[in-house]
Amino acid sequence: MASSEVENGSEFKVRVFSSSSELLESLHGKWGSVKKQPYPAMYSSVYGGITLDPAMMVIPMDDHMVHRGHGVFDTAIILDGHLYRLDDHLDRFLRSASKARIASPFPCSALRSILIQMATASKCKRGILRYWLSAGPGNFLLSPAGCPASAFYAVVIDEDFSQRREGVKVITSTITMKSALFATMKNVNYLPNVLSVMEAEDQGAFASIWIDEKGYVAEGPNVNVAFISQDKELILPPFDNILSGCTALRLLQLAPKLIEQGRLKKCKNWKSYSDGSQRGC
């Protein structure tokens, strides 16, 4: 039924699916018109395997990650069919899970194996691997005590990305940044991040940057911030109140080589004010 008919007060009849096969047929109809499948593979511990059928890439509504936001996630880039720095991302993933008090249904080695097998099954050469750990399905209560087990989900996203070689416009965000506990935990409660990005888009900017209550530059909604000063010093905000981005950490690892080459003089984690002045920490 057309939306205009609903708005005009006409009776809105909701279809009742009499069987799972009928529902699946409807879902397949939705995906049948898509020229290129953007999600070539998904893993779910709920049904215990990998699916290549986009119509089956769903999670239960009573999963506490859905209705309570009790879940964490992380990502890894797929480049030329290889998972880039997967172990670093998995380590951060499990640190986030520990802070969120979610026990993984599998040891780290099994999580790693699942992700590698899924990436292989997807046949994706360039994209993003995103994965979640949830308190799990079970009920619609606030406490996860009634959930039988935590749940692990993962999706391969076929996405062609290129290195940005030009400057971008950023703004200072007016959205309140997260507290240290939630900022350092990569959890699924991303509403402040979403509103921050939308704020930037409204002003024609690439991203918005959070400034903390003391006036220090913090981070963006899904990016870390780094500066190269006029004295060739690489400066990053400390990670005590923001997410320790794996890319930022890798940058710190590679910086000494640039210092040896004379392209940088120093590399440090300093607090930087929004006016450009700096303070040691």
Q: Which residues are catalytic?
A: 186
CB neighbours (10 Å) of residue 102?
Answer: 25
What sign has the CA pseudo-torsion 9, 10, 15, 16? Answer: positive
Strands 41-44 and 49-51: antiparallel
Q: Which segments of 94-174 are extended strands (E)?
A: 126-134, 151-158, 170-172
Report the distance separating Cα 141 and Cα 62, nearest Å. 9
Question: Could you tell me if residue 268 is left (phi over 0), alpha (psi between -120 and 50 degrees) or otherwise beta?
Answer: beta
Report the distance separating Cα 57 and Cα 52, nearest Å. 8
Sheet holding 227-228, edge to edge: 227-228, 233-236, 266-269
Report the distance separating Cα 234 and Cα 245, nearest Å. 16
Angle formed by the axes of helices 246-260 and 86-99, nearest 10°: 130
